[in-house]
Amino acid sequence: MLMLNTTMLREKFILREGSPDDEPMIAVGNRIALPLISKKGQREERLIVRGQNMHTTLRMAAMIAKTYYRDGPIQSRSPGYSWGPNWQATLPDFEKQYNDQGWIAVYSGGRPIFKEGEYHPFLDVIEQCDARNRDEYDRAVSIAENAFNMAGRGVTIDHQTTIAMVIGAMMEKTRVGLIFRNPKRSTTFNFAVEPAIERVSREKAIAEPHQCLLHAAAWLELVQLSVKAGFLKARRGAMRPGTPTLEAVEKRLGRLNGELLQFEKAYEVSYRPERPDVISLVEESTEFAKTA
Task: Please indicate whether residue 155 or residue 153 has the higher confidence score (pLDDT).
Answer: 155
pLDDT for 43: 67
**Per-residue confidence at 108, pLDDT binned at 50, 70, 90?**
very high
Q: Is 286 helix (H, G, I), strand (E, B) or coil?
A: helix
> Residue 263's pLDDT is what?
97
Instruction: Output the pLDDT for position 106.
Output: 98
CA pair distance 207, 194, nearest whole angstrom: 7
What single letter denotes the amino acid at residue 2? L
pLDDT in the model for residue 240 = 66
Q: Pick left, alpha or beta for residue 134 (phi over 0 → left; psi -120 to 50 → alpha; otherwise beta).
A: left
pLDDT band at residue 199 using 50, 70 and 90 as cut-offs: low
pLDDT band at 128 (very low <50, low <70, confident <90, very high): very high
Q: Which residue has the higher pLDDT, 210 or 144?
A: 210
What is the chain's Cα-based Rg? 20
The per-residue pLDDT for range 158-197, each reduced to its tens digit, is 999 999 999 999 989 999 999 987 767 778 899 999 999 8
Q: What is the pLDDT of residue 65?
A: 96
* Region of 272 on the Ramachandran plot (φ > 0 left; ψ -120 to 50 alpha; else beta): beta
Q: Does residue 292 register a pLDDT over 70? A: no
201 band by pLDDT with thresholds 50, 70 and 90: low
Phi, psi at 281, each rounded to 5°: -65, -45
CB half-sphere exposure, 262, CA atoms < 13 A = 10
* Confidence (pTM): 0.92
* Residues 229-239, mean pLDDT to the nearest whole number: 74
pLDDT at 282: 87
* Beta carbons within 8 Å of 86's beta carbon, 6+ residues apart: 63, 67
β-pairing, 186-194 with 174-181?
antiparallel
Least confident of 194-198, 211-215, 271-275: 194-198
Predicted pLDDT of residue 37:
85
d(C-alpha 218, C-alpha 264), whole Å: 12
Distances (CA, A) of 81 to 51, 63, 76, 108, 199: 20, 11, 9, 14, 38
pLDDT tens across 250-270, in order?
999 999 999 999 999 999 999
What percent of the chain stands above pLDDT 70?
A: 92
DSSP per residue over 179-196, as a string? EEE-SS-EEEEEEEEEPE
Q: What's the pLDDT score for residue 236?
A: 60
Helix-helix angle 54-71:83-90, to 10 degrees: 120
Reduced to 3 states, what is the DSSP secondary structure of residue 144? Answer: helix
**pLDDT tens-place string over residues 56-72:** 999 999 999 999 999 99
Rounded to an integer, the average pLDDT of 7-19 is: 90
The pLDDT of residue 149 is 79
The pLDDT-based confidence of 200 (bands split at 50, 70, 90) is low
Judged against a pLDDT cut of 90, whether residue 284 lies above it is answered with no
pLDDT class of 237 with cuts at 50, 70, 90? low
Q: What is the C-alpha to C-alpha distance for residues 232 and 152, in angstroms, rounded to an integer? A: 49
For residue 145, the model assigns a pLDDT of 86
